[in-house]
Structure 1
């Protein structure tokens, strides 16, 4: 049994307690509508505002079958070396343009890059591959629209979608210049590693992960579908340089390590850092928890460096 009282510091416990006051640990037992209302309220309570010098435009990408809402963040002192396509977390059933609004604004402010946030379709109304298709369409729109390279960045479910797009675009003429995956669910071996040692972690449990997977697929076994399970791919060659940042107290931590190992074994470049004592969802703690603040700086630096086509790890 993992002793989280020893691993997690007081600041992080205060963040966990605040989160649980808005979003109880048993929220997955509520209806989808109730879960969304709870999650949206929690995101509003943690909203940190916009830094100075960031403007936004909310618009949509028109596709032959769908219209994908997006929000574009621009810096008044832009760095045109790259743009960032940001894909939000939320278990594939929660979140949207507002849930990670301040995160995207701060990423824009601190890198100077344009950041585009994607409001992909959510389950259970839209089962897999709807979310993947939307993020693919958004990447292709960004590749057409911008003259600069595109960096993929996403947290949790969004990290899963970023990795799936990176795998799917390896043969494209214009592909991502890099990807930053933040406590991403990449669906590795759930019989070992953090899936076992942190199965009952604060903020995310193994039961939660199974619930989100079931909702996204409608309960259909899609084992081997790499657009759903990136770690199921048999070929990790020719992926963009990848930075994986995970939380130590999170069942998904081993996914970052496994993905790094696969990319490096295939001759690619990947760097994995496990944030000591942090928990899933800690991006919302970046202004109140020292460890989360340091991690967000690491994330910003990774996005900035990859956007320049540099590799310093």
Structure 2
């Protein structure tokens, strides 16, 4: 069992923490990782955070999982009733749980905290058997969005930058992108409660960035100039209404001369990293391990 420890940090005017999963036998790599949760919820204990930390650290990669400040709960009702088959709490249960989670804040607080967490990881990499130049950045769902936004800020800062950006079932544009005919047909087989709609996505995004002003792409990197970003791995869930965003972002990266690899997890729905043992989760964990491993 991986022995973890938490480190208190501050950025954006708020205290936050990171949880470190030291590699059992370090291979020189370190991954700064962000859970998802529509910017509003999610914890370091959810499988999407903890499973990644434990599995990758056992494979030689130190993981720094970021407990960033969450956005307010104002958009919770817009998400609609949960799918009973998805083993998700109701909006009322989520509100009760999250109201005790501490202070909340909108953009740019989480963005600034991720940059601070990345800087901490670079400064402390050698203490965990990792190389400062092999610190990767990534996340799932909203965490993937936050990772991409932080990578944009780090690029513009012009100092240290991630060795790799890993984005799992990401939403990278401010809104739902139209699916092609093949994707639209596949999405008809998915329970409506397992899909984001234009209305729910808009509510989530405006809750995070109320005025939609994002000229530099720090909130939603998609659709902006991506030149100079590091190598990117994108893992999309096939049965996910956010998949068009991941695919469009991959095309934008290629057009900006950024090396990108795109993988589609066939038959998988959004959030599969929260299902321990799910075939797509197992495959994605292997992809992450291979992508961040020093060459």
Q: TM-score, normalised by structure 2?
A: 0.77
1:258 to 248, 259, 272: 248
Where does structure 1 lack aligned partners over 5 or more consecutive residues?
A: 1-51
Could you tell me how far 1:134 is from its partner in structure 2? 0.9
Residue 169 of structure 1: SS of its match in structure 2?
Answer: helix
- Report the counterpart of residue 119 of structure 1 in structure 2: 67
Residue 72 of structure 1: SS of its match in structure 2?
Answer: strand
Could you tell me how far 1:72 is from its partner in structure 2? 0.5
- Whether 2:205 is the aligned partner of 1:213: answer yes
- Whether the 8 Å contact between 1:108 and 1:115 is mirrored in structure 2 is yes
Q: Distance in 1 between matches of 2:52 and 2:145?
A: 18
- Whether 2:117 is the aligned partner of 1:138: answer yes
Q: Distance in 2 between matches of 1:280 and 1:183?
A: 6
- Report the counterpart of residue 88 of structure 1 in structure 2: 35
2:274 to 284, 287, 296: 284
Deviation readout 1:38-97 (Å, 9 max, x if unpaired): xxxxxxxxxxxxxx3x11002212458432211111233232x11110111000000122
Where does structure 2 lack aligned partners over 5 or more consecutive residues?
A: 73-103
- Report the counterpart of residue 86 of structure 2 in structure 1: none
Distance 1:66 1:186, change over 3 A: same
- Report the counterpart of residue 173 of structure 2 in structure 1: 187
Could you tell me how far 1:203 is from its partner in structure 2? 1.8
Q: Distance in 1 between matches of 2:192 and 2:115?
A: 32
Which is bigger in relative contact order (C-alpha 8 A, separation at least 6)?
A: 2
- Whether the 8 Å contact between 1:202 and 1:249 is mirrored in structure 2 is no
Residue 151 of structure 1: SS of its match in structure 2?
Answer: strand
- Whether 2:22 is the aligned partner of 1:74: answer yes
Q: Distance in 1 between matches of 2:149 and 2:34?
A: 12
Moved beyond 6 Å, runs of 4+: none
- Whether 2:147 is the aligned partner of 1:157: answer no
2:56 to 93, 101, 107: 107
- Whether 2:45 is the aligned partner of 1:55: answer no
Distance 1:74 1:192, change over 3 A: same
- Report the counterpart of residue 164 of structure 2 in structure 1: 178
Q: Distance in 2 between matches of 1:162 and 1:193?
A: 24
- Whether the 8 Å contact between 1:244 and 1:270 is mirrored in structure 2 is yes
- Whether the 8 Å contact between 1:194 and 1:251 is mirrored in structure 2 is no
- Report the counterpart of residue 19 of structure 1 in structure 2: none
Aligned residues: 249
- Whether 2:220 is the aligned partner of 1:229: answer yes
Query: Could you say what the CA RMSD is over the residues aligned between the two structures, in angstroms?
Result: 2.4
Matches within 5 A, 1:294-305: 295-305=280-290
Distance 1:215 1:194, change over 3 A: farther
